[in-house]
Structure 1
């Protein structure tokens, strides 16, 4: 790969290791609004194939998003999220379960989670939630958001180790970041072995891919903050479940 276009050797090699509070602020923000999704008539539920459940159906999309639900659902909800964003953590805690139970399970709505990578801890978590089976990506993301303050607390405690990671080769850097933030232990307790976690974090090609996809899609869709939601390609104004659910219902979800 041309080094001048390599996001890890250019962007991340020069990335200043920021304090936890700065990371939190950098990872959240507003996105420019556009026309909202159109209204629609109520859409009847679409049964899943016999013996399956839409809420347990996971597809990896061409954009490297992880979609749960009917791949051909008439309403396609996409969230651009950062793993170090408090507002994303709030949506995960308050919106994900009713979204899956009521709307995804009906086959009418699919939900795709994509990354907007904002800092090294974010990228490390993004790699780790992808490290195992595809069905684990969103559940592990949700658990990581619950523990977000713990990760930042670990970084404060291990500040010297975290700062020193910036000087390491790329294939070692994110392992050191994850160790400083307590990510290795966290994911190990959830079925991802320490060796597997370190192997994924040392996979420079995969780390580059996550970062590059994030940058490319954010530029194409003018996504500047997280969370940002799109419904059938149109941006939704709002970041909370109380704002997202009415948009789904106006479009025909019930």
Structure 2
């Protein structure tokens, strides 16, 4: 199997070297999980606090992930995903809604999405999906994945324009968003062009997303996307058909 290898995000951030071709690999990283998954019997559903809904409950974790659902859920799913990864887009289309509606809704499972940054356009998108309220992160990421061909078809020409125009370092991410249509895309989804430019002009914050991606990828040996963990144990597979049985082994059952 082949995987999409992680690109190191240097502080120099040479745009031309990071706008790498987008491979179509569908495999997650190899390697053994460091944590054994504890097998448990069925866990009863856990009600959300009165007036709330687990599918509308989001918090930002210490890993800068966006956790959807019960933060104290006994079954914790973490996905490392690239916003320019076709395999991640496939999971978004063919697994994420089942995970959320059938499992996260019960309060037994939480779903934390963490960015694993693969290239400069990926980093630009990762900054933009953070440019609104935390509750918008998951829906915006899903919409990026559902429109990935629209973006990826622009990457080559956008890179050439940015390099040719010798764009200043503090405007590279704004230029990447402008050249690929990201500003218009997010403007239609509640993030104004001015708001997006302000987020992308905060170069230090944008680069910090890439730095965290590098650090966590090294810490957890995440070398491809998507990579899933359930209660700290790495899942062997990248599809919903691989993930759901692991959730059930951990005690989760689908909502009836």
| Residue aligning to 1:145 | 145
Structure-1 separation of matches of 2:172 and 2:232:
36
Task: Confirm or deny: 8 A CA contact 1:132 1:192 kept in the other structure.
Answer: yes
Q: Distance in 2 between matches of 1:17 and 1:232?
A: 32
1:29 to partner: Cα distance = 4.8
User: How far is 1:168 from its partner?
Assistant: 2.8
Partners of 1:78 and 1:114 within 8 A in 2: yes
Q: SS in structure 1 opposite 2:23?
A: helix
Contact 2:16 2:159 (8 Å CA) reproduced: no
Whichever structure has more helix as a proportion of its residues is 1
Shift of the 171–109 alpha-carbon distance from structure 1 to 2, 3 Å rule, reads same
Could you tell me how far 1:18 is from its partner in structure 2? 3.9
Counterpart residue number, 1:116: 116
Q: Match for residue 251 of structure 1?
A: 250
* Equivalent in the alignment of 2:180: 181
SS at 2:141's partner residue? helix
The match for 2:93 is 93
SS in 1 for 2:76: strand
C-alpha distance after superposition, 1:116-175 (max 9, x if no partner): 10001100000000001110011000000011100122234545324437x433320011
SS at match of 2:31: coil
So what's the TM-score if we normalise by structure 2?
0.89
The Cα shift of 1:13 comes to 2.6
**Distance change in 2, residues 1:48/1:190 (3 Å):** same
**Partner residue, 2:4:** none
* 1:135 matched residue in structure 2: 135
Counterpart of 1:223? Answer: 222
CA positional deviation for 1:104: 0.4
CA distance in structure 2 between the aligned counterparts of 1:27 and 1:184, rounded to whole angstroms = 28
2:17 aligned residue: 16
Task: Give the superposition deviation at 1:40.
Answer: 1.4
**What is the CA–CA distance in structure 2 between the aligned matches of 1:132 and 1:193, rounded to whole Å?**
10
**SS state at 1:97 partner:** helix
Match of 1:104 in 2: 104
Tell me the equivalent position of 1:3.
none
- Please give the alpha-carbon distance, in whole angstroms, between the structure 1 residues aligned to 2:159 and 2:64: 32
- Counterparts of 2:148 and 2:162 in 1: how far apart (Å)? 16
Residue 70 of structure 1: CA displacement? 0.3
Counterparts of 1:196 and 1:18, CA distance in 2: 24
Q: CA deviation at 1:16?
A: 1.4
| Gap regions ≥5 residues in structure 2 | 1-8
1:57 aligns to 2:57 (yes or no): yes
- Quick check: 1:27–1:82 contact (8 Å CA) kept in 2? no
Q: TM-score, normalised by structure 1?
A: 0.90
Partner-residue secondary structure (3-state), 1:87: helix
Partners in 2 of 1:129 and 1:41 — Cα distance?
A: 37
